[in-house]
Amino acid sequence: MASRPLLVLLVRHAESQANALGRFAFRTWDPGLTPRGWEQARQLAGQLAGVPIARLVSSPLRRARETLEPLAEARGLTIEDWPEFAELDMGLWDGLVRREIAEQQPEAWRAWRQDPEANPPPAGERISGVGARVMQGLNRLRPGGGLVVAATHADCVKAAVLQVLGAPGPAARRLYVPNTGQVLLRALDNGLWNVVLMPLGLAGI
């Protein structure tokens, strides 16, 4: 019998306190989920009810780990902290309010919004750098099989998709990842990955 393929469901964390306040959060502030975020986390566990899960991995940041807690409790699984799935480093913008950056640094803000690869945040991370480390995390999950649920952040999900598709950095602005938004990736034997464009329940798990 053939072994099960490795599938990784990348999930953006549920609504965090930083999301509700319109603030960037990575190194200077590690906020948890809002009440709405906790409800989204419980809904995620419900959505995956009955789907076999091999492992739960997470960004080390609180909002990502909390997103998986209802699922971990329901399945009796341990959440593993993986630094490869941590938030994009916003550099000098970390902890700041988006609206204030747009008002006080309009040119830098506009440039980053247009092309996060050519114009990273001051002292921050390029989208390609995020993608490279997320792919390192994904490949570190090999040669295991089955479904791994990985809680991470919006830019990490976008960066992974760009890496798999070989798309340029500006294409990140054409991707939208809401709280608990998901993308399913399938590991191939040749070292590459596929984006699986079908409902999770029909993905051959």
Taking the complete model, does pTM exceed 0.95, yes or no?
no
Task: State the Cα–Cα distance between residues 200 and 196, nearest whole angstrom.
Answer: 9
pLDDT of amino acid 200: 62
d(CA 155, CA 130): 8
The answer to whether the beta carbons of residues 115 and 169 sit under 8 Å apart is yes
- Could you give the domains of the chain? 6-198 (3.40.50.1240)
pLDDT < 50 stretches in the chain: 1-2
* pLDDT of amino acid 1: 37
Q: Please name the residue ranges forming H helices in the chain.
A: 17-21, 35-47, 62-75, 98-104, 106-114, 127-140, 154-165
193-196 sheet: strands from edge to edge: 79-81, 55-58, 146-152, 6-12, 182-187, 193-196
Q: What pLDDT is attached to residue 2?
A: 46
In tens, the pLDDT along 86-120 reads: 999 999 999 999 999 999 999 999 999 989 899 99
pLDDT in tens, 154-163: 999 999 999 9
Separation of alpha carbons 107 and 89, rounded Å? 20
Residue with the two structure tokens 């909390």: 66
